[in-house]
Structures are given as structure tokens and as C-alpha cells.
Chain A
């Protein structure tokens, strides 16, 4: 029941990290089209099981934003044989932990269990894939919970409000424009029928992937999947329209006034996603560029803007090359120091970008970023859950888990020239969207201390 937020990208955590070669991964497909990926990991007698649906906010239509996430909540509200709330009780009694999350590209459900309890998890997931009971009564209660969630995540969180406006400004046609949690007004007017329609359309085996990582035998998992998911009927999926974003023709800018103390700034550039994992190189160069800017505490943005110039109290950069929507952003965000404005910080960030465009990056910086990739490759093996997340997200976004094996070599092949080239090609004013939080005092009568990001200060 958690949804994705814009989180300051931590380079090591945000990177897709490759699986070690010894991790045995197996791939199957059931007759009804459901895909099964099993990665054996025998370090500990536990298992994580995730069911991923290729259905997220990207598949919603105007007026029904948030329905993917609402359905995620409703998936815990009972089937013909498992009464409302019992799903969680059964998993809890098996010693399990469970939850679900909705993103723009996917909705996923997971259980973590002692390994002998895996059949329970698979049986229950198969049951709710086909037999969910969506009642008006349960919907009416749960939609209030979702609205509380939106208040908590967005309405009362000024930076989240900025992010929401940023997304809808930088995308005009593409569905990434819309908040995953949905607009409040759409939630207020949502009906159980909307949830039913969503469930009927997308919750079919041919739109789902089961990912299992843990102390299991792949053939045993396949047997279980055949037994429980096998009998479920596939249905034709509606065609998915490309919804290509038209090219941006000049800088875009938003100012958000909200009750807060610190200004906050988001900058984004439209950049390519990874489409052909073998022949593309720009996405890998953009990943390295993000690492050079924000891969560690001595990376350019933190070292120059927070530590040396002291113009920011924090600043970060991020890029994710895996997107089902075939569009991506290179994002930078941060807060200026006391007495400095968001526009001053914006200028300083743009100077850092210009420096890379003019002078490029050093071999040392490149080596440092790559060293972190190699180490991260090993570290992520300590978490089964994380490994399952990687596989599920790739598969659901239209890539293969096999990409994880190629990924480190692809990054290692990036040159300093390529990093400079992508910076020159994409990090340009005409391709840039800026959103600024202009803090307003909590007390109604008080005046704001310093106007932020008004247009006369802009370039």
C-alpha cells in the first residue's frame, strides 16, 4: 500500500545492480501467458514472492487517476473464499510480512516468508488474481483511507506538491504527467465500478509476472505456479497507445506557494530511456553523468554547491534508464542555504552543467563511479528483496532480467567523451523544466521572507 514518491536518488541504491553470475535464475511461461522468474539464493531459509502486474498509473485515463493504486488497496478486501482482511491474517499467522506498491509502470504485491510457506503465498495470490470481491461497502471505507494517504503524502508535504506540479508541467501528453496517487477530486468521485473495470481489464495471468527469490528449487516453484496460476484464464488486453510526448520547445517554469520554511527547486530535462540494451549508449552515459554529479559525497553537486560555495543545504541528481513509458527525465533537486534563493541555486546548478559541457569530466571521476558500481554489484546480494525488485521491475517494464548481467560492462564501457556528449545534447535550457517552492509563512498575517523564483529574477 505504498506508492512511489520522488525520492532523492542515492546513486548506489538507485542504480540497477547486476546479479552475480552464480545466482541461478530460471525463467518459465505458463500456457495462459503468465511469466515466472525464479532466482535461487540459498544463504538463508527464507523466500520472497512477488506478483507484478503491468498496470500502473500510466494506464489510467483522465477522471480516473489513482485507480491503479485504489485497486491495490482493494486487493486486500476479500475474495469468494477469503473474507475481507483475512489475506493479511493468514500471511501473518504464517510468520510472513506482506504489502504492495503501485508505481507509474506497475502494481506489485509481495510476501516474505520462511521458505516452507511459499505455497500459501502462491495460492492466495492466484485466488485474488481471479476471484476478488469488490463490494461497495468495502470500497466506501477504503477510498477514505486512500484520501488520508494522499493528504499525508502530498497535500501536507510542500515538496511533494512541487513534484506533482513539476510532473504535470514537464509532461503534457504523456501519462507520467499524472500523480500516481491520483488527483483528490478524482478520488472523491471514484466508484466501485471504476475499480471493477480496472480489475477486469488488467488482472489477468497474461499481464502478470511471478518473481520468487530465495531458498527454493526452481522446478518446485514452477510446479506450484502451474497448480495455482495455471487454471486461470487469460484475456485479451486492450491495446496500449504510445502517447508520445511532443518535443519541448522552450523552458518551462512553475512557482508553487506553500507553507514551508525552506525554498526547494526541481529541474528536469527530457532524455532518452534504454530501448536497445545492446546498441544504445546514451542511457549508460546519462547514468554515469548522474554519478559524476551525485554519486557520492565528493561528487560535483555536493562538493561544489554544498561544501565549497555553501549555496545549498542539499542537492542531488538522478536518472532512471528503465521506464515502461519510453520517456525519461534527468532530474536535479535541492534547497538553497539560508539567505540564498532558489534562483541563485538554479544558476549555480546550471554553471556546474555548463562546466561539464565545456570541459568534460575527468578519468578519476569516471573510475570512482565505476568502482561504486562494482561494489554495489556485490552488496545488493545481501538483500533478496532488492534482487526480486530488480527482476520484477525490469520484466514489467518490458526488459529482461538478463539485462542485469550486461549492465556493469555497459557502464564500464562509457567514456568521458560520451558523458560530455550527452550533457551537451540534452541538458539544455529549451529542454528544461523548473519548479520552485516559494515558502509561505504558517501564520496567515505574516509576510514571506524572500520571494522565490519570481520571473523577474529569472534568466
Chain B
């Protein structure tokens, strides 16, 4: 990087300074292959960030081969268009490019960060597109990666946090595909074959199943060209079908799993909200007060500040394509498991029953609205929003209206939404560790 280069950017960044991120100007179009593109032009730094996401997350797995979706995404990066894993890594590293990405129940994706200078950008894009267009799925690489995944799965199953998370997702979602995120077992991974990956790729990595998000130092014309190149090389298959709706729990469920750890891991849960859900904002603001607002939430106040029962206690709604989980979690010394559980249950019950005070609501809005600039203060953060807005088909003005929606939430809406959406007498409770009876019991 030459000094000159830096000085040129200094001038540009000063001019753009004030309006830079005051409003996020999202450009949206579709490639000729039918892929939606979301783009923010920003020349402050000589960087390009691209994120390509597919509806190819773990919810697209089947139970006997749970782990296939994750493995497909992973092995795509380890051999493409005749390049070995070593060649791919070297050619990216040679230009300082970083390949990353997402994987969850809904999404599988690839992120690329590269310098915007032509040589670096072109070499990085060449690898990035080949990974998505011509994955080779070499059999020896698949075998090696399966062995690594299996070893990690076995290790995870000795760790209380991982055991709790698995019990939580599988019990909360039962037969719904969202349970598949935590359904990988050594034998399901063992059974996955190269043809499975090829098939999964052809069906789930199609152009109509993809969303491209881009931000950084490129013109609209360059962005269009790059997006066109990414989309046109993808399988020209149709979009995958929507996921089924999530069913509510019908009765309370307590899962206790013995473990010798010094702390118990406790998780409470219930099906929560989907993206674009009309109750999303009341639940989001309400949850800030309950357990989302770091050191100032009711849960932290009751469990940590007043009683010293835990280091970390939290709650969240994870909005997904279908209803993602509401989760409340903490870890506490095993001898005080029952005491801590009683406190969180009482705190949650009272919250749902009585709602929030005017002062709490005011403080929550002050934080969420006042802190809004922090959500979009870097290209990396804006890229994440672009990917989410695109993938979940949120309105293009989602970020512009975010604070307005938060401001308009009332205490009555919060109480109403929590009462309708969280059945506190039908929750799932998972306890790993603790002073327990060994078997699972069916009451709380």
C-alpha cells in the first residue's frame, strides 16, 4: 500500500464523513439468473465485502444424514475447478483475501473480504466464484473432514454447554427441521457420501435460492458485473420450498441430564418469532428489559446483581424463517441449581404476568434508539444487515424504520405479545449437571 493511495482515500473519507452512515442507501436489483442483489456503495476504505447466502442450512438436512448441509458448505471450500484445498488457501492468502461465511438452520453462505485494487480483487473473486460454481467434493477430502467433524461431535458431547444446547433444540423442535441443527451424530456423519454432497449442492445452491449482499469500494456497474458473474455460474435450479410451521409445545417438559461439572447449565425455552413477525418489535423491546439488555436486565439484576448466583444470565428471541427459539439461559454452581431455577422462573412469570413499567420501557427505547448508530458503524456490520434483509425479504427501508418501530412499542403491546407468545406453564426446561435424578422427568 503506497502513501499516495492512503492520502487519496483520506480526502475522500473526509468529504463523505458526515453523511456516510447516517442513512444506509441500499440498492437492489436482480441478476439475469434471478438472484436478488443488495448493494451499498462506500468508498471510505479500499475494501470490498461480499456475502452470498443460500437457503441451504441444517433445516434442509434429513435425520438419517444430519450434518450433510454443513459438510456440503464446508467441503465446497476445499476443492473446486480442479484446485486443491492447498491451492485455494494459498491463492486467497497471496492477495490477503479472507474467506468466511455463515451456517445456521436457515442459511449457508460464503463471505469474501478483499482489497478493492484490481489485481487482488480479481484473484480473490476468481477463487470465490469457483468455490460456488464448480465444487469438486474430492472423496479423500470428504473422508478427512468427516473424521474431524466426528471427533468434534464426540468432544462436544462431553461438554455441558453443548449437551444442553442439543437437548434444548431437539426437545423444543421435535420433528420440525429446526431440530436437525443439533441432530448430527457420529453415525449420521459416517453415512454421508460424496453423491449426497453433489445432490445437495445441485438442489440447494441454485441461483434462485441465492441472495447476494455487497458493500464497499466499487461502482454500481462493477457491483452489477460481479453479481452477474456469481449468479450466472450457479446451478440454474428452482428455489427450495418453504419450511413447515413450528408447533407450540403442548405441555411443560423438564429434561435433566446428569454431568459431573461444577456448574449446572440451565436452559428454558419456547418457540419464539419468525422474521417479519408482527409481534417482533414488542417482543424484542420487551426482551431487552427481561434479559437482553446486558447488565441492566431484570434477569441480571435478580440472578447476578442481587444474589450472585451466576456470571452470565440472558434471554433472547432468535428470529428465523419459521419461529426460532426463545431461550433463557444461565450457569450456576451445581449445589444451587434449584435456587437459581426458582429465581429465573419467578422473574419470567412475573414479567409475562405484569409486563413492564413506564420507566423500564423508556430506558429500553433510549438504549435501542440511542445506540442505533453503533449497529451500522462499519462495513462488516452493514453487510450482515444486507444479507439478513435480503435473505428474509425484509423491506428495503428496514434500517431506516427500525428506530421508529422501536419508538412506537407500548407497554400494553409488550404484555399482550408476551402473554400470547410465551406460555410460561408449557415451557421446556433443560438442566445439565446439578443435583439430579438421572432420568428425564416430564414435569416442572
Contact = CB atoms under 8 A, between A and B. Distances in A.
Interface in B12-33: 13-14, 16-18, 20-22
A141 B306 contact: yes
B152 A152 contact: no
Contacts of B262: 151, 155-156
B94 A367 contact: yes
Interface in A1-24: 1, 12, 20-22
B118 interface: no
Interface of B: 1, 3, 6-7, 9-10, 13-14, 16-18, 20-22, 44-47, 85-86, 89-90, 92-98, 113-115, 120, 144, 147-148, 150-152, 154-155, 157-158, 160, 259-263, 293-296, 301, 304-312, 331-333, 363, 366-374, 376-380
Contacts of B308: 140-145, 148
27 contacts: A20-B9, A22-B7, A43-B44, A43-B377, A84-B305, A92-B294, A92-B295, A95-B366, A96-B367, A96-B371, A114-B370, A148-B310, A151-B333, A156-B263, A262-B151, A296-B89, A296-B92, A297-B85, A303-B89, A335-B151, A338-B154, A367-B94, A368-B94, A371-B95, A373-B96, A375-B114, A381-B45
A22 B369 contact: no
Contacts of B370: 93-96, 114, 117
Nearest to A441: B158
A43 B376 CA distance: 11
A310 B44 contact: no
The 7 closest A-B pairs by CB, nearest first: A95-B370, A375-B96, A22-B10, A144-B308, A298-B89, A95-B371, A42-B17
Given A21-B3, A337-B151, A298 B374 contact: no
A76 B3 CA distance: 44
A41 to B, nearest CB: 9
A310 B144 contact: yes
Contact of B9 (A22, A113, A306, A382): A22
A42 B14 contact: yes
B95 A148 contact: no
Interface residues of A, number: 76
Contacts of A373: 96
A251 interface: no
B246 to A, nearest CB: 31
Contact of B6 (A12, A22, A99, A371): A22
Which residue, of A97, A377, A382, has the highest number of chain B Cβ atoms within 10 A?
A382
Contacts of A371: 93-96
Nearest to A138: B305
Given A88-B295, A95-B367, A148-B311, A378 B85 contact: no
A141 B158 contact: no
B335 to A, nearest CB: 11
Interface of A: 1, 12, 20-22, 42-46, 76, 84-85, 88-89, 92-99, 112-114, 117, 140-149, 151-152, 155-156, 215, 259-262, 295-298, 303, 306-307, 310, 313-314, 335, 337-338, 367-368, 371-379, 381-384, 439, 442
A303 B22 CA distance: 44
Contacts of A145: 304, 308, 310-311
Contacts of B115: 375, 378
Given A95-B373, A152-B331, 9 more contacts: A1-B311, A20-B6, A42-B20, A89-B296, A155-B261, A338-B154, A371-B96, A375-B96, A383-B378
A348 to B, nearest CB: 15
Contacts of A140: 308
Nearest to B143: A310
Nearest to A298: B89
B98 A21 contact: no
A12 B371 CA distance: 29
B106 to A, nearest CB: 26
A46 B377 contact: yes
A1 B366 CA distance: 23
A88 B296 contact: yes
Contacts of A297: 85, 89, 93
Contacts, number: 220
B13 A92 contact: no
A412 to B, nearest CB: 11
A12 B98 contact: yes
Given A21-B7, A114-B373, A379-B47, A148 B331 contact: yes
A46 B374 contact: yes
Contact of B367 (A93, A151, A442): A93
A145 B306 CA distance: 10
Nearest to B86: A298
A204 B328 CA distance: 40
Given A114-B373, A296-B93, A378-B115, A43 B20 contact: yes
A141 B331 contact: no
Contacts of B260: 259, 442
A376 to B, nearest CB: 7
A146 B152 CA distance: 29
A439 B380 CA distance: 39
A374 B96 contact: yes
A383 B115 CA distance: 16
A338 to B, nearest CB: 5
B366 A149 contact: no
B257 to A, nearest CB: 11
Contact of A114 (B148, B154, B304, B374): B374
Contact of B157 (A43, A147, A261, A307): A261
Contacts of B309: 144, 148
Contacts of A97: 294, 371, 374
Contacts of B18: 42, 45
A48 B68 CA distance: 42
Contacts of A142: 308
A94 B6 contact: no
Contacts of A88: 294-296
Which residue, of B92, B157, B158, B331, has the highest number of chain A Cβ atoms within 10 A?
B158
